[in-house]
Structure 1
Amino acid sequence: MIISLVNENGCKRASEKTKSKSKEAIKRLYGDVDVALFPYARTSFYACLSSLNLEVGTEILITPLTIPPMLNIIYSLGLKPLFVDIELQYFNVCTKDLKAKINSNKPACILLTYLFGIVPNIDEIVGICNEAGIVIFEDISQAIGAEFNGIPLGMHGKAGFYSSSITKYVDSYNGSFIISKDRRFVDKLNKLSSTLISPDSWRIRKIILKTLIWNIALNKHIFKFITYDLLNIIRRLNKELFDNLLGPTTGFKLYKNLPNFYFEDISKVQCEKMIIYLEKLECLISERRKMAEKAVKAYKGRKVSMPIGGNSLNTKDTFWQFIIPVESRNLAQETLFKNGCETGTSNLYNIAKESNEKLSGPDAVKNSHIFIPLHKHLDTGDYDKIFRQLEKMGQLK
């Protein structure tokens, strides 16, 4: 990572040869697909929408928990967001609300954002959308490697895209890819990709530096002896700063014009890191499932709110986050932090709320759910202690 930080050539535009190697690594994971590369998931979404050549004012279905730039993308193309609520079992589209929105509106497509590495009932969602003639785009940023009925997420609709950013299984200092079996569609995407401008080397370096600092701070030894105490001091002296440090990295801001960096090409170092992590992905997910098994075992005798791989750890959920319901997210988080366990809830924005539309699902996720940390150094006893602490404070539902 330090080499990447000082390597000026690595922060420049990737060559076609380097891009081809990244695409081949992605194809090894997904099989018979075509691939396009972009700098961000938001840019991938822009490419997908613009390639449909939709009329101004066309409605786009979107789930409310996502990054704010997705809303900017919709508006920038003269399109209209149509928010659909999420349910609290799989944290995906509420099919009842989906049907209602389709029946009362005329949406052209939907962005399915899979949350926390949990796989919903894809057949039901896809069936509803296909019957209505709605194009499906899948955001697999939190669910890469997950499958439904043996088919990877990202391959159930028109196209799927991934954000290769900090804390993800595949973290290549940002960068994004799109997969699709529709070759003509991907040809349109690659034509748009060929117009991207050269990346800003300083912007890439800042991403690398942030990732380096993050990884050092979360090292289990450094966190135990330095990071936790530092966070505790900040929490006591300046709660607002504490919340900002652990909160969303992408602020909510509506742009009149999309920033230029949305349209910078992917860099050499991003492509190279993407290849490295894609090769490690199967091992990373396997380790994550083993960690989840310990948490589930400690939860024995309690109702597990999330579907563990569709009721079985042998299915293809990936457990990017292990999320459970609590009475109060703030109180539960405070309880665990006092006992040396730093956790929180989704940092994604409720973009429906920011647009003055009230939906129950995202509010429930933000206010009454927390993540339980999954680490290799934690055993079943550690997780049992976490759950008992929450029970003692009346927080565990």
Structure 2
Amino acid sequence: MKIPRAYYYMNFFEPLKTCLRLVSLQHKRFSKVQEFEERYKEVFGNRYISLVSHARTGFYFCLKSLGLEEGDEILMTPINIPDMLNMARICGLKECLVDLKKETYSIDLADAQKKLSPKTRILFLTHLNGIVPNMDDIVHFCKENDLILIQDCTQIVNAKYKGRNLEEYSDYTISSLCDLKVIHTHIGGVITYSSSALKEKVDQIIERECSTMSASYFFRFLVEDMVAVILLNRVFFTFFIHPTLSMVTKLIGIDGVENFTKGKGLKIGPFYLFKGLFGGGGNVLKKSVPKGMLFSFSNLQASIGLKRLSLFKDLERRRIRNSKILYKSLAKHQSSLPSLNSSGSCVFWKFPFLTEHLEELQRYLSQRGVDSARSNLKCFNEIKEFHIKDTTPVASELSRNTLYIPAHPYLEEKDMLRISKYINDFFRNNS
């Protein structure tokens, strides 16, 4: 059986059930939201959380609650969705991008130190790939420079540092609950706080700015989920998608396929088909938060979220097991693997492999039935619409040269050893 590039944390019937709930107006009902919130806190050990429409709007609410002044500065690690930078600008902040360290995929504090100014107020730290950095150093840097730390833990849910949840190291943490995330509620996000006072302040803004979800807005995400669940089904991928992908790659090249998965559409001659299907293709720049994004978390998301929580721990255990097999089997390529902090428990949301031979390795694996993926996130300073002068060379290299190797929960040890063998064979044959 072939192996698709990603794992979707729901089955095909769940989006269909949500369609029925949508018809029955469950997006206007909220009886299950409290149940989901309590269960989420129980599973992840959080005390204070708010459920929001998107992680990006959660970030926006946190920033608004801080009472910052126009022109205050925010240090940001540069790899995330463009809307995170939009939210900072909408709140009147001036961004300053901080480079990453190659071995950890996390912030380079020496670079951050150089980019401090008297107006710097916040460090917004995005954790990548489920790899845990040295949180002591990060917290010390923030305290020493009187900075508010906001974390994006979307890719590192349930990770620990010295036995503590990562959320405990900051006043605010946001996480996404959308496609490919371990807790997938079609769309949604979570804000975690260090105190009830912070939660109360943000909740007042949420209540003031949010309205009932638009069914048409939500339906678009349901369609994307249904398409993705089919495309990433292993049986369907083996007998239909992989042969089609091989044919399409010959026609439009591997870059064309990657652009399709990023929502840029399939370019056939002068035309683009399916543009925006996976969230791309829209306007990058935003002057304000679109009203459609500002809605209250509803029964539609809570119902699916409760099921995801019931399956979470077993799926996570298996994904981490598979990633550790890869890590051990690829030990001879140490410079391509992230450095693992002995004080952290990494969750390997994705398994990153850094290589200058990315395209060749990706093609080699594909020919052997293993579909791997490049990053779908560009550095903010490489998005021309933002007009950013900051340079982050290491982050750019990581974004450009990281190949994500499948370590899906349903794969077995023999699958992981087979993938490892292919990678080892590739480098032995091309040394």
TM, length-normalised to structure 1: 0.92
> Per-residue deviation at 1:299?
1.5
Matched, 1:278 2:309: yes
- In 1, Cα distance between the equivalents of 2:389 and 2:424? 38
Which deviates the most, 58-67 or 338-347? Answer: 338-347
Within a 5 Å distance, the mapping from 1:19-34 to structure 2 comes to 19-31=33-45, 33-34=47-48
* Equivalent residue letter for 1:81: E
* Equivalent residue letter for 2:421: K
CA offsets per residue over residues 146-172 of structure 1, 9 Å max, x none?
Answer: 111111122211111110011111111
> Per-residue deviation at 1:21?
1.0
Matched, 1:358 2:414: no
Matched, 1:74 2:110: no
DSSP-derived class of the 1:238 partner: helix
> Per-residue deviation at 1:243?
2.3
Instruction: Identify the match of residue 133 of structure 1 among 146, 161, 171.
Output: 146
- In 2, Cα distance between the equivalents of 1:59 and 1:182? 24
Alignment check: 8 A CA contact 2:338 2:352 kept: no
Which deviates the most, 45-54 or 335-344? Answer: 335-344
> Per-residue deviation at 1:300?
4.1
- In 2, Cα distance between the equivalents of 1:9 and 1:51? 35
Residues 357 and 394 (structure 1), Cα distance of their counterparts in 2 relative to 1, 3 Å cut: farther
- In 1, Cα distance between the equivalents of 2:131 and 2:85? 23
**What is the match of residue 78 of structure 2?**
64
Which deviates the most, 136-145 or 176-185? Answer: 176-185
* Equivalent residue letter for 1:12: H
Which deviates the most, 1-10 or 71-80? Answer: 1-10
> Per-residue deviation at 1:234?
1.8
**What is the match of residue 257 of structure 1?**
288
**What is the match of residue 354 of structure 2?**
325
- In 1, Cα distance between the equivalents of 2:41 and 2:421? 42
> Per-residue deviation at 1:351?
0.6
- In 1, Cα distance between the equivalents of 2:57 and 2:151? 14
**What is the match of residue 242 of structure 1?**
257
**What is the match of residue 205 of structure 2?**
192
For structure 2, which runs of at least 5 residues remain unmatched after alignment?
A: 1-13, 264-277
- In 2, Cα distance between the equivalents of 1:362 and 1:309? 18
- In 2, Cα distance between the equivalents of 1:105 and 1:349? 29
Matched, 1:268 2:299: yes
* Equivalent residue letter for 2:48: D
* Equivalent residue letter for 1:286: R
DSSP-derived class of the 1:142 partner: helix
Alignment check: 8 A CA contact 1:5 1:209 kept: no
- In 2, Cα distance between the equivalents of 1:274 and 1:155? 23
Within a 5 Å distance, the mapping from 1:340-355 to structure 2 comes to 340-354=369-383, 355=388
- In 1, Cα distance between the equivalents of 2:138 and 2:374? 25
DSSP-derived class of the 1:66 partner: coil
Instruction: Identify the match of residue 170 of structure 1 among 175, 183, 187.
Output: 183
Instruction: Identify the match of residue 318 of structure 2 among 265, 281, 287.
Output: 287
- In 2, Cα distance between the equivalents of 1:241 and 1:13? 40
Instruction: Identify the match of residue 144 of structure 1 among 147, 151, 157.
Output: 157
Alignment check: 8 A CA contact 1:39 1:265 kept: yes
Residues 67 and 393 (structure 1), Cα distance of their counterparts in 2 relative to 1, 3 Å cut: farther
- In 1, Cα distance between the equivalents of 2:43 and 2:176? 16
For structure 1, which runs of at least 5 residues remain unmatched after alignment?
A: none
CA offsets per residue over residues 239-297 of structure 1, 9 Å max, x none?
Answer: 36422222264446112232112212223111222222223222221111111132123
Matched, 1:335 2:361: no
* Equivalent residue letter for 1:9: S
Instruction: Identify the match of residue 157 of structure 1 among 157, 163, 170.
Output: 170
TM, length-normalised to structure 2: 0.85
> Per-residue deviation at 1:76?
0.9
Per chain length, whose mean CA-contact separation is higher, i.e. which structure has more relative contact order (CA < 8 Å, sep 6+)?
A: 2
DSSP-derived class of the 2:179 partner: coil
Identity %: 24
DSSP-derived class of the 2:49 partner: strand
* Equivalent residue letter for 2:403: I
* Equivalent residue letter for 1:371: Y
Matched, 1:316 2:345: yes
Instruction: Identify the match of residue 222 of structure 1 among 228, 236, 239.
Output: 236
**What is the match of residue 383 of structure 1?**
419
Alignment check: 8 A CA contact 1:4 1:269 kept: yes
**What is the match of residue 110 of structure 1?**
123
- In 2, Cα distance between the equivalents of 1:114 and 1:14? 33
RMSD: 2.0
DSSP-derived class of the 2:154 partner: coil
> Per-residue deviation at 1:203?
2.1
DSSP-derived class of the 1:178 partner: strand
Matched, 1:368 2:383: no
Residues 95 and 82 (structure 1), Cα distance of their counterparts in 2 relative to 1, 3 Å cut: same
CA offsets per residue over residues 114-149 of structure 1, 9 Å max, x none?
Answer: 100110001101110111110011111111011111
Residues 59 and 24 (structure 1), Cα distance of their counterparts in 2 relative to 1, 3 Å cut: same
Residues 10 and 299 (structure 1), Cα distance of their counterparts in 2 relative to 1, 3 Å cut: farther
Which deviates the most, 374-383 or 268-277? Answer: 374-383
> Per-residue deviation at 1:361?
1.9
